[in-house]
Amino acid sequence: MEKQIHLEGIDPLEFFGINNVKMNLIKSLFPKINLTARGHLLYIQGEEKELNNFEKKFAQLLDHYYQFNVITEETILQIFSSGFSSMEENGTTEKDIIVFGNSGKPVRARTPNQRVLVDECNKNDLIFAIGPAGTGKTYTAIALAVRALKNREIKKIILSRPAVEAGENLGFLPGDLKEKIDPYLQPLYDALQDMIPPRKLEDFMKDGIIEIAPLAFMRGRTLSNAFVILDEAQNTTINQLKMFLTRMGLNAKFIVTGDVTQIDLPRRSNSGLIFAMKLLQNIESISVVQFNTNDIVRHRLVRDIVDAYSKYYEDKAEAEENAREKAKEKAKD
């Protein structure tokens, strides 16, 4: 009797090992079954009872790989003997772990407001995550999206950014459209590459399961069964952000991230993020998570830099307000 098992989205080197060392271990545990891997298919031959037993164990092995992105020889032995690995018995009980990245590295909510973002994502469909650079807003949001995809809660991930640094006019840059846009989207690629093995990520993007696109590409679409993240939303106009938010379809989760102190639009008052937070904050199932300098997880100097700029702008605003008051008093005289 012969059957086929589909191996979509795996990294063969990680899954089967160098020189097929892990594959050979699996073969040794099931000597009555003939195993042959060809591309994304695993052919198994043997008696029906043996094949059914193997399929159940191998399905657990695949589930482990899709969850943790890593397979070790110890894991193979544990799963084929007991059905569980030590990572499944111990690792997944840690409350702050969002998802397991490459090589089984856990991606955690590391700060109080990152934990708040995780909690709000579990409760609401639209979340605004606002705060200074380095607080992990986007990284945490992408980890939540990857977790939802792994848990089959959604069918695709869509990540977007406004390309406002070049005024949405990228024609003067060299290369085709993808080459012009990619530099603006690179931080999103970087986060995904931490959490999904390269081969699997490539397959996801080729199949449209993960999509990274500039904000302008969202117009006219309905985004259903998707986890959608808009990054750098402080650089959207009021109409752009309205357009984005009204793309929400059935079974969709939206997270909008931004830093209102780094608006690159010609006029700060045009920021769609500031307008939307004020307009929508009291609507049920919409929440706003405010990050602060205590959440900064980059180099220790980043916090001092953010504080210094914040103080500068506060002092400047205070000085301008005092100047206006003096001008009014002078005008009265």
Provide the pLDDT confidence category of residue 85 given band limits of 50, 70 and 90.
low
Report CA-CA distances (Å) from 101 to 187, 230, 261.
Answer: 16, 22, 31
Residue 160: burial class (beta carbons within 10 Å; 0-12, 13-18, 19+): buried
Question: Do the strands 210-214 and 41-45 form a parallel or antiparallel pair, or are they unpaired?
Answer: unpaired
Provide the pLDDT confidence category of residue 91 given band limits of 50, 70 and 90.
very low
pLDDT cut 90: percent of the chain above it? 29
Render pLDDT for 240-253 as a digit per residue (tens, 0 to 9). Answer: 999 999 999 999 99
d(CA 113, CA 120): 10
Report CA-CA distances (Å) from 171 to 61, 63, 175, 286, 309.
Answer: 48, 45, 9, 37, 33
Which whole number is the average pLDDT over 260-286?
A: 86
- 156 contacts 225 by C-beta, under 8 angstroms: yes
- Angle at CA 153, nearest 5°, toward 152 and 156? 75
d(CA 62, CA 160): 30
Render pLDDT for 181-203 as a digit per residue (tens, 0 to 9). Answer: 667 678 888 889 889 888 888 88
Render pLDDT for 294-333 as a digit per residue (tens, 0 to 9). Answer: 787 666 676 677 778 777 777 777 777 777 777 777 776 6
Report CA-CA distances (Å) from 331 to 69, 317, 323.
Answer: 69, 21, 12
d(CA 167, CA 87): 47
What pLDDT shows up at residue 329?
74
What pLDDT shows up at residue 4?
87
